[in-house]
Structure 1
C-alpha cells in the first residue's frame, strides 16, 4: 500500500486536509499545479490509521466536471458530502442517525433530491427574483451608507461583504433584522468552526471533536429557530421562501421535521456566506488594480465579467465529496464502488487547461465556465440570486465610491470547506 504510486506523500496529503492551508492561498495553488501535472487523480490515505477514510483527490477541471455531472455514478450519499474525520462522523451518527449533522439538498440523491429541489427552484429563478430587486438595491444602499459613515477606512468584509448578503437572505426567509446577528454567528460556527476568529471560540487549534461539537450546537440552535419560523408560516403564510418550505408537500406529505430544518439551514447559511466571499474577492482584486476600477466606473457593461470572475477566482465552496456507485476509470486511476472522492473546486477553477493564467483576475475572461456553483443536478440553487446581489451592490459602490485601495493585508479564513477573506482593510474615497 505504501508503495502505491497513486497515494500522495504524507506532507501533501496533510496540506490538502489542513484548514490552515486554505488561509495560505498561493502555496496551496502551487501544490495543485504540481498535482494536475503529475497525479491529477490521487489517493489520500491518513498517516494515522482510523483518522479518516481514504479518498481520491480530483484536481483537473475536466475530471471535476465529469464527476459533478454524472450523478448516477458519483453519489452524494451514503458517505459524507463534506470531508470529515471518523470521530466527527461517529458523533453525527450518534446525535442524528445520519453521517451528516444536517440533511439538506446537498446530501440527497435522486429520487429525493429533484423532488426537494423543485419546491423552491422557481422562487430562485431570475423572473421571480426581479420582484425583489428594488428591496435588494435598498439594502445595498443602506449597507454602503454604513460603510461610508465609518470614515475613509473600513474592513470591507465586516462592514459590507459579510452583512449585505446576510440581510438579503434573511429578508427572503422572513427572519426579522434583530435576529440577523444571531444567524451570522451560527453560520460562522457552522462553516467557520475551524477558524478561531470566525467561530468565536478563542481557540487557535481545535480538535475534530471540538469542531464537530461546536457545529452540532449551532445546528441545534438553527433547528429550534426554524421550527418556530415554520410554524408561524403555516399559521400565517406569506410570499417568502420560509412559507414555501413550511407548506411544501412531497408525494402528498409535508417534509419530515429534520429535512425541513435542513432545507432552512442550507438556504440561510449557504445563501450568504458564499456570496460574501465572492464579493470580498471582487473588491480585493479591484482595490489592487485602480485602472480596472476606473474602467468599471466608466463602463458598467464590464460588471457581469467582474462578478463571474470573482466567483471563479475565490471558489468559496472549496470542495464537495462524492461516493462511487460502481467501478469506474477516472484520470487514469481505477476507482472502486464505495470509494470516496473529493472534488476540489479551488484546484479545478485554477486549471490552466481551462482558464489561461488562472491566478490573474481577468474580468474579460471568456468563456468562464467555472465550477464554483457546481454542475449538473446539484448546481447551486441560488446562483442567480448570488449574481444579482453582487451586481446590484457593485452598481451602488461604483456610483458612490470614487477610489478604493488596500489599507492593509487581506486575511483568509482557516477552513477546508467554505472559505474566502475574513478581513479586507480598505481606504475609500466617496464620490
Structure 2
C-alpha cells in the first residue's frame, strides 16, 4: 500500500474501527494528500495534528460554508443548510455563537448534574432488572437524548420521534437503516417544521428551558430568526445526542477491551477526567469535518487551489506520533492529552461542557454500580466514514448493581 493507492473513503473500512494503518502511512509520507472520489471531484486529506489545528483556526483561508461532508451534495439537499451554525463563517458565525452560547454556560450546564445522575441511575436499574441490555441503545443512547431534549424543552411524548430522526440521520450511510436521500431530506424537513412549531410556542408562552432562553436572547439588538432557530434545533438534536452517545459507548467498549485500564480506573476513580479525554482521543465521535479553500494555498509542498475540498481527519490527528507518545495505546492516565475531538478554533464544540458532564456522571455510576459489566456478544459498529458509532453492544451484569 502506498499513498497513491491508499483508500480512507470506503465506509466498509470503518466497520472494524478506523483504518489506523492507512492514516499512519499518510501522516508519514503524504500529510497533505489528494484523494480521489469514485463519484466526486476529490479532496485533500489532512492527517497531521498541527495541520488540522492550523486549518481549523483559519476560517479566512478555509471556510465552512461550502459543505461539511466529503461528498458534494445536490442543490436543495437540507444537509447543506446555511442556517446551521457549524456551516457558518465570520462574521455571521460569531454573532450566532454569541446568541446561542447563553444556553451553554458552565453555570447553566452544572445545574443539570443531579438530573443527569438520576437518569443514569434509572437506566442502570432497568438494565440490571433484565440482567443486561444493549448498552449502545439502552444506556449510551437514551441518556444524552433524554438530557438534550429536556434541556431544550421537547415534550416527553415526542422523544421517540426525535430518536427515530437522529438515528436515521446518522445511519444514512448504513444499509441496515435503508435511508434513501429523499427520506433523509424528509427527516431534516420534519425536524425544521417541528422546530418552527416549538419556536412559535415559546414566543407566545416562554418556559424555563433553553428554547425560551434562545428565543429571548439578543446580541446587538438582534434575535434568532425562525430559520436560524430551526438550524440550531437540528444541530442540538443531532450533535447533542449522537456524539455524546458515541463518546459513552466507545468509551465503555474501550474499557471492556482493555481490562487493565478499567481496573486502574476502578482502583483510582480520580483518573476519570483524564480517562474521558483519552476515550475522546482514542475513538473520536466524529472522524472528520470538511473545509473549503478560499484562496490558493501551499502546504507541505502541495498547492491547494481555491475551491478545493480540504478534509480534516481528527481520527488521524489524535494518533499523531509527534504529539502523543505510544499513540495506539489506550491510557486512562494520559496527560497531557491535546486531542482534537471537540475541534479547535472558532468552531470548537459548543456543547463540550455538557458532553463532559454527561460522560463523567455516567461513568461514575457505571463503574461504581456495575464494576463487573461484561460483553455478552460482539459490538457492531456503524458503517460510516464520518461518525464513529456503535449500533449494538450487548452486555450483561455479572452481579446485581449495588
Q: TM-score range by the shorter chain?
A: over 0.9
**8 A contact 1:194–1:414 mirrored in 2:** yes
**8 A contact 1:288–1:406 mirrored in 2:** no
Q: Deviations over 1:41-60 (max 9, x none)?
A: 1112334xxx3232111011
Equivalences for residues 277-316 of structure 1 within 5 A: 277-316=246-285
- State the match for 1:35 in structure 2: 26
**8 A contact 1:192–1:418 mirrored in 2:** no
**Residue 250 of structure 1: CA displacement?**
5.1
Of 55, 78, 81 in structure 1, the residue corresponding to residue 68 of structure 2 is 81
**8 A contact 2:34–2:43 mirrored in 1:** yes
- State the match for 1:235 in structure 2: 204
Equivalences for residues 205-284 of structure 1 within 5 A: 210=180, 212-249=181-218, 251-284=220-253
**8 A contact 1:44–1:57 mirrored in 2:** yes
**8 A contact 2:98–2:219 mirrored in 1:** no
**Residue 157 of structure 1: CA displacement?**
0.4
- State the match for 1:21 in structure 2: 13
CA distance in 2, matches of 1:72, 1:282: 35
Q: Deviations over 1:210-264 (max 9, x none)?
A: 3x32221110110111111111111121232211233344553443332221111
Q: Secondary structure at the match of 1:226?
A: helix
> Structure 1 residues 16, 103: CA separation in 2 closer, same or farther (over 3 Å shift)?
farther
**Residue 364 of structure 1: CA displacement?**
0.9
* 2:51 paired with 1:63: yes
- State the match for 2:289 in structure 1: 320
**Residue 295 of structure 1: CA displacement?**
3.0
**8 A contact 2:62–2:291 mirrored in 1:** yes
- State the match for 1:109 in structure 2: 89
**8 A contact 1:286–1:292 mirrored in 2:** yes
**8 A contact 1:245–1:263 mirrored in 2:** no
**Residue 8 of structure 1: CA displacement?**
5.5
Of 310, 316, 323 in structure 2, the residue corresponding to residue 341 of structure 1 is 310
**8 A contact 2:70–2:309 mirrored in 1:** no
Q: Secondary structure at the match of 2:86?
A: coil
TM-score (norm 1): 0.88
CA distance in 2, matches of 1:20, 1:231: 43
Q: Secondary structure at the match of 1:25?
A: coil
* 2:114 paired with 1:128: no
Q: Secondary structure at the match of 1:403?
A: coil
CA distance in 1, matches of 2:264, 2:88: 44
**Residue 404 of structure 1: CA displacement?**
1.9
- The number of residue pairs the alignment matches comes to 399
CA distance in 1, matches of 2:186, 2:375: 36
* 2:115 paired with 1:139: no
* 2:383 paired with 1:414: yes
**Residue 72 of structure 1: CA displacement?**
1.6
> Structure 1 residues 291, 44: CA separation in 2 closer, same or farther (over 3 Å shift)?
closer
CA distance in 1, matches of 2:188, 2:337: 35
- State the match for 1:185 in structure 2: 164
**8 A contact 2:3–2:29 mirrored in 1:** no
Of 123, 128, 133 in structure 2, the residue corresponding to residue 154 of structure 1 is 133
Q: Secondary structure at the match of 1:196?
A: coil
Of 320, 330, 334 in structure 2, the residue corresponding to residue 361 of structure 1 is 330
CA distance in 1, matches of 2:312, 2:74: 19
- State the match for 1:332 in structure 2: 301
- State the match for 2:41 in structure 1: 53
**Residue 91 of structure 1: CA displacement?**
4.4
> Structure 1 residues 196, 101: CA separation in 2 closer, same or farther (over 3 Å shift)?
farther
Q: Deviations over 1:320-373 (max 9, x none)?
A: 111112222223312122221000111111222212222221111111111100
Q: Which consecutive unaligned segments of at least 5 residues does structure 1 have? A: 1-6
**8 A contact 2:23–2:316 mirrored in 1:** yes
**Residue 114 of structure 1: CA displacement?**
0.8
Q: Secondary structure at the match of 2:372?
A: strand
CA distance in 2, matches of 1:150, 1:158: 15
- State the match for 1:3 in structure 2: none
